[in-house]
């Protein structure tokens, strides 16, 4: 029978009914897309689209002399990592083999083509290539005295990267974008240095590796949340939509489904049917789960997470002090080294969020941090011992006054 009537209204059964349900589901999806509804894009965390934040219009103050630029920049948009692909395959297999095939959403998910594979393993996506090239153009426009053809050809622009392929390729893409913008093609100048000791410092910090990275109990609070009522509700609602028992769905499957929703939007710009297995409350729970992991493994959960990044932090400010000293000694406004860092996410992000070093509020917060926290590793006494005439504390405080910054209310 193609159709039938139950006590609760019209019910569609059989092949024709399943086709009708799929068409109905597709129509609803098209309506949602035409209405401009976002697939929870504001909750994608570290996988958010860069362009969603906008390019901004900030420019250096007119009275600010450009002496030095130091960028600490994350790699561009990437594919999923190897460990997540098997989990994606697992939830897709569950949908095809055990879910209720009479449901329109299930039919759409079963017919979805799995195109992710382990060889992608976090490689830079073509969107990441264009992001890095565009970033180079914006920086060259905003800092023309520092990123000028002559400075570039004189190798006064320095590029450092970690050995991660997505970081190396991000560096390459940035250099290509800069050379194109400057109208240059200089293989000798467009070189980069791989320095994992500086940019992947956490791998060589034995205390971090022992207490956090290889410690099975370091994420104890994360495991408690995974077994809590919030995640239980997410699983139950997801099971109900698929027509399976809640016990058939694991936490890994739930996270993989959220990644499928996320990556389909980030990489393809489409609202995936995988997103329809969640509602806004579910997505907020999953976003919190991701934040909780980052808090304990990469952020403020353990003191060593931040302490391990001091080497990188100190290196950045030594370059800044060196630039100021050279400028004062020569009594001219000259360019010092420009260091450009490309790195994956790591505990260095928690010491000071330098993702966008160009934003004034970051500099203000940094001034406040250095003024009141007095980080011993970077004290003026230590710098003076190395022949520094002006420590970064004094320099940044003076810089904030020169730029007319108000005292910020930063919380560290």
pLDDT tens-digit profile of 239-295? 999 999 999 999 999 999 999 999 999 999 889 999 999 999 999 999 999 999 999
Query: Active site residue: 43, 68, 75, 181, which one?
Result: 75
Quick one: tokens of 69? 């630029």
Mean per-residue pLDDT over the chain, rounded: 76
Kindly give the confidence (pLDDT) of every residue in the chain, 412 residues in length, as a single tens digit, with 9 standing for 90 and above. 333 333 333 344 455 444 544 444 444 454 444 334 456 788 888 788 777 766 666 677 777 778 888 888 889 999 999 999 999 999 999 999 999 999 999 999 999 999 999 999 999 999 999 999 999 999 899 888 888 898 888 888 889 899 999 999 999 999 999 999 999 887 777 889 999 888 888 888 899 999 999 999 999 999 999 999 999 999 999 999 999 999 999 999 999 999 999 999 999 988 999 999 999 999 999 999 999 999 999 888 999 988 888 888 888 888 888 888 887 777 544 443 444 455 444 444 333 333 333 333 344 444 444 443 443 333 333 333 333 334 444 444 443 333 333 333 333 2
pLDDT at 333: 45
For residue 341, what pLDDT is reported? Answer: 52
pLDDT for position 199: 87
Is 236 one of the annotated active-site residues of the chain? no
In the prediction, which pLDDT does 335 show?
A: 45
SS3 sequence of the chain? CCEEEECCEEEECHHHHHHHHHHHHHHHHHHHHHCCCCCCHHHCHHHCCHHHHCCCCCCCCCCCCCCCCEEEEECCCECCCHHHHHHHHHHHHHHHHHCCCCCHHHHHHHCCCCCCCCCCCCCECHHHHHHHHHHHHHHHHHCCCCCCHHHHHCCCEEEEECCCHHHHHHHHHHHHHHHHHHCCCCCCCCCCEECHHHHCHHHHCHHHHHHHHCCCCCCHHHHHHHCCHHHHHHHHHHHHHHCCCHHHCCHHHHHHHHHHHHHHHHHHCCCCHHHHHCCHHHHHHHHHHHHHHHHHHHCCCCHHHHHCCHHHHHHHHHHHHHHHHHHHHHCCCCCCCEEEEEECCCCHHHHCCCCCCCCHHHHHHHHHHHHHHCCHHHCHHHHHHCCCCCCHHHHHHHHHHHCCCCCCCCCC
């Amino acid at each position: 029978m193609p159709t039938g009537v139950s006590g609760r209204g019209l019910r569609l059964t059989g092949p024709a009914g399943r086709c009708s349900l799929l068409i109905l589901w597709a129509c609803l999806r098209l309506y949602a897309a035409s209405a401009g509804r976002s697939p929870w894009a504001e909750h994608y965390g570290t996988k958010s689209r860069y362009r969603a934040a906008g390019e901004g219009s900030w420019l250096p103050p007119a009275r600010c002399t450009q002496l030095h630029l130091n960028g600490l920049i994350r790699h561009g948009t990437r594919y999923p990592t190897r460990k997540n692909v098997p989990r994606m395959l697992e939830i897709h297999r569950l949908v095809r083999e055990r879910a209720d095939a009479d449901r329109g959403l299930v039919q759409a998910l079963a017919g979805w083509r799995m195109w992710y594979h382990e060889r992608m393993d976090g490689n830079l996506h073509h969107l990441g290539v264009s992001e890095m090239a565009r970033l180079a153009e914006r920086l060259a426009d905003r800092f023309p005295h520092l990123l000028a053809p002559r400075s570039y050809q004189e190798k006064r622009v320095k590029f450092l990267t970690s050995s991660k392929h997505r970081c190396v390729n991000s560096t390459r893409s940035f250099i290509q974008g800069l050379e194109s913008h400057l109208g240059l093609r200089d293989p000798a100048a467009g070189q980069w240095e791989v320095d994992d000791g500086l940019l992947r410092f956490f791998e060589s910090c034995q205390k971090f590796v022992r207490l956090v990275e290889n410690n099975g109990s370091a994420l104890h609070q994360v495991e408690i949340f995974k077994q809590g009522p919030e995640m239980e509700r997410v699983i139950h609602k997801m099971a109900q939509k698929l027509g399976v028992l809640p016990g058939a769905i694991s936490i890994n499957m739930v996270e993989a489904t959220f990644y499928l929703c996320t990556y389909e939007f980030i990489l393809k710009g489409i609202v995936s049917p995988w997103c329809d297995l969640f509602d806004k409350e579910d997505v907020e729970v999953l976003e919190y789960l991701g934040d909780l992991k980052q808090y304990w493994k990469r952020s403020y959960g353990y003191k060593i997470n931040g302490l391990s990044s001091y080497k990188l932090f100190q290196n950045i400010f030594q370059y800044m002090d060196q630039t100021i000293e050279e400028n004062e000694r020569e009594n001219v406004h000259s360019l010092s080294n420009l260091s450009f860092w490309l790195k994956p996410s790591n505990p260095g992000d928690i010491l000071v969020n330098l993702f966008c070093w160009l934003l004034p509020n970051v500099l203000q917060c940094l001034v406040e941090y250095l003024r009141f926290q007095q980080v011993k590793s970077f004290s003026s006494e230590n710098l003076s011992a190395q022949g520094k005439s002006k420590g970064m504390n004094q320099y940044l405080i003076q810089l904030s006054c020169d730029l007319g910054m108000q005292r910020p209310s930063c919380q560290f």
